[in-house]
Amino acid sequence: HPCYGYRWIRALLAQEGWAVSRKQVQRFESGSPWQND
């Protein structure tokens, strides 16, 4: 979702126990892995 910054996503994934790098989050923002298009 474009309204969610990488910091928000990183914090959310951190709660899930993920180790997320800035590059991975940027890839999430461009790819939207949780939206099956």
Alpha helices in 1-37 (DSSP H): 6-15, 22-31
Q: Could you list the residue range(s) of the whole structural domain that residue 27 is in?
A: 1-32
* Per-residue pLDDT, 10: 77
Residue 1 belongs to a domain: yes
Residue 3 belongs to a domain: yes
Residue 5 belongs to a domain: yes
Residue 13 belongs to a domain: yes
Contacts of residue 1, Cβ cutoff 8 Å, sequence gap at least 6:
32
* Per-residue pLDDT, 32: 61
pTM of the predicted structure, to 2 decimals: 0.31
Residue 37 belongs to a domain: no
**CA–CA dist 14, 37 (Å, integer):** 25
Residue 4 belongs to a domain: yes
Number of domain units in the chain: 1
Question: pLDDT tens digits, residue range 1-37?
Answer: 566 687 887 787 777 666 556 556 666 666 666 655 4
* Per-residue pLDDT, 5: 81
Contacts of residue 6, Cβ cutoff 8 Å, sequence gap at least 6:
22, 25, 26, 28, 29
Is residue 22 within 8 A of residue 6, CB to CB? The reply is yes
* Per-residue pLDDT, 34: 62
* Per-residue pLDDT, 27: 64
